Chain A
Amino acid sequence: MIDPDRETQSNGRIDEEDKRRVALAVSGLSKAYPGTVALGGAHLAVRPGEIHALVGQNGSGKSTLIKILAGVESADGGRLTIAGMGEQDIGRYSPAQAHRAGLRFVHQQTDLLADLSVSENIAVVHGYPQRFGIVRWSQVREIAAGAFASLNLKGIDPAAPVRALRPAERTMVAVARAVSDTAERAILVLDEPTASLPPEDVAVLFEALRRVRDSGHAIIFVTHRLGEVFEIADRVTVLRDGATVSTAHITQIDYDALVAAIVGRALERSANRTAAEAGIDILLDVRCLQAGAFGPASFRLARGEIVGLAGLTGSGRTSLLRALFGDLERAGGKVLLDGQPVAPRSTRAARDLGFAYLAADRASHGLFPQESITDNLVAARWSTRLLGMLLRGAEHRSQASALTGTLGVRAPSLTAPVASLSGGNQQKCMMGRWLRITPRVLLLDEPTQGVDIGARRDIYQLMRNAASTGSAALVASSDLEELTLICHRVLVLSGGSITADLSGPELTEPRLAELCVAHRPAA
């Protein structure tokens, strides 16, 4: 446990006393990718027996920092010191070295084998105890039980199949497995362990993590949910634009200060919001709609309007979009399009009504990877002749070539498979597929995920163009900056309800961040 009166509030510096007590220290770490600086001046000092939260916006460099710690990416410069191992040669630091130094990583989607028992999941990684080549199952179970006992974790039956465990317990198994082969104290890195957990499980996991901490391991806890930081962390380090902006003991920072540190006060106001004139001509009227994790909630969308949906995973953003597109059954409510009630029962019906839906996961829900760029672009509706019996191939080709022109897609050949394009160009194709058939309502889920800044700008422009020609767009995004940049108005979702509707000067990134994580209904 850490000693409460030995705390420092260094801004990225590590003082002398700290140096003797750190489990892991990183200073001046830098990493550049062509075109972007992912990290420049990142500092982090983690002590044994503490839970250290690592927070920052998307793109702040958290992932890059963790990848460097894991040895998967190599840093361009900086220093890395690990207790018991001394300073590491940053240029030669490898995953094997990270492992030897006691660093253990547990990812969001834990890679457990659901059909195997808890104890076998541990044995499968660290080796099966054997005698004469035969697995000794009793020992397999003992090792698992020992791993839980050493972490003070209770209540998990080593013989149970992982499938039968609740989500928090699975994370606990992953944690136990990660540290079970370290005699020394481990440095455990948890990357958004709560992202896919139901709320009641978060408390269970936190209780377990406290016990793991109390048994002497250090935990680096990456999260987007600021409420959790105050609940679980002993200290917090904030990254912004690739640099550490502050490290503080949790008792010495308050909520607003943390948000300010994450977002940075100097926000540039975007000049593109000309929404005043929008909002008169209602295109989409959603009344008490209820579907999946969304609702019941009501809102309206005007012609020419770009409305953002902010909220954490599970807040109902995706449910809303899928329900509007007829891909998720409605449990209640009404939707009026242009004053007419619509209730599409299939994606095809929704498409024919003028809805277009871009799913968040391009690879699994958007692309036809081996199909050509042309075939991908025209897939939303084919041009046909002879009563719909034959395709107009030549027309498709000329449309595709015109589209790639307007989209700014750089492709060697339109007959090449779409998977050969870069992520940004693929995403532009996904947008182009829908824009080709001029939809009335664009439903976009994370439209710029994994897309570089240049393509991002192009995609924003495509949205604005569509809006300016009388369509409306509903954009769900975890990138709050993006929402303030492109949206006339942003609805904040929390637990399925709309808790805020921000526009004008109220629509700022810190305000959104606060509303998303706070679970406080806005006035």
Chain B
Amino acid sequence: MTGTDGTSDSGTPRPTADAAAAAIPARGQRVRASVRIVQRFGFFTLFVLLFAWFAIRLPDTFLTSLNLRNVVANQAVLVLVAAAAIVPLIGNNLDLSVGAILGLSGVVAGTAMSDYGWPLAVAVMVALAVGTGVGLINGLLVTKAGVNAIIVTLGMAAVLGGLIDWYTDGQSITIGLSRTLLRFGSGSWLGIPKMVYLWLPLLVLAWVLLSHTPYGRALHAVGSNRDAARLVGINVDRTVLFSFVLSAGLASVAGVLDVARTNVASPISGPNFLLPALSAAFLSASAFKPGVYNIPGSVLAVFFIAISVNGLALSGVEPWINQVFNGAALVVAATVSVVLGRLRLLK
């Protein structure tokens, strides 16, 4: 029946649940508490175990500072794109253009240095501005025009891919890139890849913004229940719009780092990051804050996959495992977070 008899419909069975909860507080709570701990740190524990297993099995290849430094350096771009994917996702919008924006930013930076000979700082600024501008357009289309985010960003990704191809003629830009940038991409400082000193603070800032500022809570509220968010006085459109801008900003930084790491501004590298970034974003909901997309979770997810792929490769497994692992992790992550989300709601 349809809620017309409020009292007899949904109201009455509820005291049972309350009574049951009151009757077995100790055991119920202990079970709940342990479920919660498993949910929060299960994935992290898995990561530690996996790391330890590879470290013990492959002490000479896996557990070397060179290999580990390489793994960390290679993921610099991905952790940023994953964060870029998470931001709109928290507001319940899937952004499929993060990879394309990354590619655009890299090509713009490369062109600015190579074709126009602009200094590094200016080239980076222009790349960030262009990439962020794309995010602004995405956001405006989603909020003001009211088009579904998936459609907007899918179309945007295709358009950007085409434009990049046209402008670069499909050629990678390899000459005239700033040496400072390339040194930053390959160098280490205090034994840690230099890029970590950029992405780690950036991600900490993004995490603080999303978890501990009014803006972040508003975005979570919009993602959780749009109508309810509007009715507590949150400006839903502005919140969503900024999430696309922020996402594009992070993806643009990733684009510049991609050039730094690979020594080339490639017209085709962007889209390759989309699937791994989305995998990590979805996987993030199964760590630390179960059921909620979160930045620490995405970093863990990125390195979980990286370590797995690296360890398996060093064990002599074929390289195609990379793709399989990414895809499988995405599906498993989605399944696990659905199941965890359901468990979490159990009384």
A interface list, Cβ under 8 A from B: 33-36, 38, 58-64, 66-67, 107-109, 191-192, 195, 222, 224, 325, 327, 346-348, 350-352, 357, 359, 364-371, 375, 379-382, 384, 388-391, 393, 410, 412-413, 416-417, 419-420, 422-425, 433, 446, 448-454, 478-479
CB-based A-B contact count at 8 angstroms: 180
The interface stretch among B178-186, B226-234, B257-265, B309-317 is B226-234
Contact with A along B20-44 (1 / 0, CB 8 A): 0110010011001000000000000
The interface stretch among B9-17, B96-104, B135-143 is B9-17
| Residue pair A36, B12 in contact (C-beta under 8 Å) | yes
Q: Which of B6, B16, B227, B344 has most chain A Cβ within 10 Å? A: B6
Q: How far is the CA of A38 from the CA of B8 in the complex (A)?
A: 6
Mostly, the A contact residues are loop
Within 8 A of A (CB), among B89-108: none
Q: How far is the CA of A366 from the CA of B231 in the complex (A)?
A: 7
CB distance from B89 to the nearest CB of A (A): 13
Give the residues in chain B near A368, CB-CB below 8 Å.
220-221, 224-225, 228-229
| Residue pair B5, A63 in contact (C-beta under 8 Å) | yes
- B19 on interface, CB distance cutoff 8 Å: yes
Q: How far is the CA of A35 from the CA of B291 in the complex (A)?
A: 34
- B217 on interface, CB distance cutoff 8 Å: yes
Quick one: given A382-B214, A412-B21, A420-B347, are A33 and B12 in contact (CB under 8 Å)?
yes
Contact with A along B191-217 (1 / 0, CB 8 A): 000000000000000001000111001
Give the residues in chain B near A420, CB-CB below 8 Å.
344-347
| Residue pair A34, B16 in contact (C-beta under 8 Å) | yes
Q: Pick 12 A–B contacts, CB within 8 A, sort by A.
A: A63-B1, A67-B1, A191-B4, A347-B230, A348-B233, A365-B231, A367-B228, A368-B229, A412-B25, A417-B345, A450-B3, A479-B6
Give the residues in chain B near A365, CB-CB below 8 Å.
225, 227-228, 231
CB distance from B246 to the nearest CB of A (A): 15
Q: How far is the CA of A223 from the CA of B292 in the complex (A)?
A: 43
Quick one: given A351-B233, A370-B291, are A35 and B15 in contact (CB under 8 Å)?
yes
Chain B residue nearest to A34 (CB atoms) is: B16
| Residue pair A36, B7 in contact (C-beta under 8 Å) | yes
For chain B, the bracket of interface size reads 35 or more
Please pick, from A35, A359, A479, the residue contacting B231 in the complex, using a CB distance under 8 A: A359
CB distance from A433 to the nearest CB of B (A): 7
CB distance from B14 to the nearest CB of A (A): 4
- B318 on interface, CB distance cutoff 8 Å: no
Q: How far is the CA of A388 from the CA of B25 in the complex (A)?
A: 39
Mostly, the B contact residues are helix
B interface list, Cβ under 8 A from A: 1-19, 21-22, 25, 28-29, 32, 208, 212-214, 217, 220-221, 224-225, 227-235, 291-292, 341, 344-347
Give the residues in chain A near B29, CB-CB below 8 Å.
412
Q: Which of B32, B214, B291, B341 has most chain A Cβ within 10 Å? A: B214
Give the residues in chain A near B221, CB-CB below 8 Å.
368, 371, 375, 379
Give the residues in chain B near A357, CB-CB below 8 Å.
231
CB distance from A211 to the nearest CB of B (A): 25
CB distance from B274 to the nearest CB of A (A): 26
Give the residues in chain A near B234, CB-CB below 8 Å.
347-348, 379
Quick one: given A375-B220, A452-B12, are A412 and B228 in contact (CB under 8 Å)?
no
Q: How far is the CA of A327 from the CA of B236 in the complex (A)?
A: 13
| Residue pair A450, B9 in contact (C-beta under 8 Å) | yes
Quick one: given A63-B1, A368-B220, are A347 and B231 in contact (CB under 8 Å)?
yes
Chain A residue nearest to B32 (CB atoms) is: A412
Chain A residue nearest to B222 (CB atoms) is: A368
| Residue pair A325, B231 in contact (C-beta under 8 Å) | yes
Chain A residue nearest to B346 (CB atoms) is: A420
Please pick, from A224, A364, A388, the residue contacting B227 in the complex, using a CB distance under 8 A: A364
| Residue pair B232, A433 in contact (C-beta under 8 Å) | yes
Top 4 A-B residue pairs of the complex, sorted by shortest distance between their CB atoms: A59-B7, A351-B233, A368-B224, A63-B5
Give the residues in chain A near B217, CB-CB below 8 Å.
375, 379, 382, 391
Q: How far is the CA of A390 from the CA of B345 in the complex (A)?
A: 29
Q: How far is the CA of A420 from the CA of B35 in the complex (A)?
A: 14
Chain B residue nearest to A391 (CB atoms) is: B212
Q: How far is the CA of A381 from the CA of B214 in the complex (A)?
A: 9
| Residue pair B341, A388 in contact (C-beta under 8 Å) | no
Q: A58-B7, A384-B213 are in contact. List 19 more A-B contacts (CB 8 A).
A: A34-B15, A35-B12, A64-B8, A107-B1, A192-B2, A365-B228, A368-B221, A368-B224, A370-B292, A375-B217, A379-B234, A391-B214, A412-B32, A417-B345, A424-B14, A446-B6, A450-B3, A450-B11, A452-B15
Q: Which of A224, A371, A389 has most chain B Cβ within 10 Å? A: A371
Q: How far is the CA of A58 from the CA of B5 in the complex (A)?
A: 4
Q: How far is the CA of A478 from the CA of B225 in the complex (A)?
A: 25
Give the residues in chain B near A370, CB-CB below 8 Å.
224, 291-292, 341
Chain B residue nearest to A361 (CB atoms) is: B227
| Residue pair B6, A66 in contact (C-beta under 8 Å) | no
Q: How far is the CA of A245 from the CA of B16 in the complex (A)?
A: 29
Quick one: given A61-B5, A390-B212, are A423 and B11 in contact (CB under 8 Å)?
yes
Give the residues in chain A near B17, CB-CB below 8 Å.
422
Please pick, from B2, B25, B229, the residue contacting A109 in the complex, using a CB distance under 8 A: B2
Chain B residue nearest to A109 (CB atoms) is: B2
| Residue pair B4, A58 in contact (C-beta under 8 Å) | yes
Quick one: given A371-B221, A389-B213, A420-B345, are A60 and B233 in contact (CB under 8 Å)?
no
Give the residues in chain A near B6, CB-CB below 8 Å.
58-59, 446, 448-451, 478-479
Q: How far is the CA of A389 from the CA of B214 in the complex (A)?
A: 7
| Residue pair B5, A64 in contact (C-beta under 8 Å) | yes
Please pick, from A58, A348, A454, the residue contacting B15 in the complex, using a CB distance under 8 A: A454
Give the residues in chain B near A423, CB-CB below 8 Å.
10-11, 14
Chain B residue nearest to A378 (CB atoms) is: B217
Q: How far is the CA of A351 from the CA of B232 in the complex (A)?
A: 7
CB distance from B11 to the nearest CB of A (A): 4
| Residue pair A62, B5 in contact (C-beta under 8 Å) | yes
Q: How far is the CA of A380 from the CA of B11 in the complex (A)?
A: 26
